[in-house]
Amino acid sequence: MESYPSISIVGATGAVGKICLEILKEKNYPHEKIKLFASKRSEGKKIKYFDQELLVHEATKSSFHNSNVVFISADSSVSLDLAPSAVDSGALVIDDGSAFRMKEDVPLVVPEVNEEDINYHKGIISIPNCTTTPLVMAIHNLKKLSPIKRIQSTTYQAVSGSGSLAVTELQSQTEQIINNEKITMSVYPHQIAFSLIPQVDDFMSDGYTKEEHKMINETKKILHDKDLNISATCVRVPVFYCHSEAISVDFEDEVDLNSVISTFKNSQGIKIINDGQNEDYPTPSFVQGKDDIYIGRIRKDSSNRKGLNFWIVSDNLRKGAALNAIQIMESAINLKKIPNF
């Protein structure tokens, strides 16, 4: 990158914000081009970046006058409050929350899938839910083999998707169980340590949760296929980092397994271990800290000759959030779609 946009990170002290800084550091992004923002209670904190200490400022509507790009990873209320002001100041907003995802005039982007949608932004680009991103990356490439009739997804989502307090809760409950102490709960409605919870976010009137609706609706939007038949069940599991998904796909035509494997091997941002069959599968502990999504357990559906089953693991804080945001910025630079830069 010959020149660097000035970046403001809102939510810099949170889990995604910290990973964003890690990735920028990996890219040798100059410290003088980065400004950190968070809530008032974090104002004055310092975060080490190479040999520098970056000061955290309180995020306000007047914070972004000298920013080319504003990353927001905070509550939707923060996005709704700050994003319009950032756009008015001339910045491109890349938002990690759900506030703008389904708005018709806001692109929802995974660069490996629909980079061209960046061309149509009006100041805000949204990042998909961290379970949607790996799913659409796989489906986008499978559609090259045959039209798809139906998708079923079951997710196994790490507690870090609920924030740092959920990570602490899993740690604490694990210690409490080992020490035969009373289990305390605050983040989740049930014990998460040594258990699982078949609920991510609140339930809707149709029996699906908000998280499941996000996966369904966001997948349709990113793939530009409002008639896509897709169902999801989202489960929270006692894993700290990385989301996993068991996917079942029904095609219109029978697909050759070797063609599926070859397609995945040649897809940007996707890796498989050897041929992705049998014991060559990814796990959260293996994928944590990696940029690519990993696919394994690739096999024909035994109940449908036109069906395919496979397993996905991705780092929910990297490709599921921070990395995708940075890749969107890089795509926007290449497409010359960052205002005033």
Residues 6+ apart with CB under 8 A from 311: 244, 245, 246, 247, 281, 282, 295, 296, 297
- The Cα 305–Cα 253 span in angstroms is 9
- The Cα 205–Cα 254 span in angstroms is 36
- The Cα 2–Cα 309 span in angstroms is 43
- The Cα 119–Cα 235 span in angstroms is 35
- The Cα 92–Cα 321 span in angstroms is 17
Q: Ramachandran region of residue 302, left (φ > 0), alpha (ψ -120 to 50) or beta? A: alpha
Decide: 238 and 183 in contact? Cβ < 8 Å: no
In the residue annotation, 20 being an active-site residue is answered as: no
Element (H, E) at 126: strand 124-126
The catalytic position among 20, 130, 234, 242 is 130
The catalytic position among 57, 121, 140, 243 is 243
In the residue annotation, 243 being an active-site residue is answered as: yes
Residues identified as active-site: 130, 243
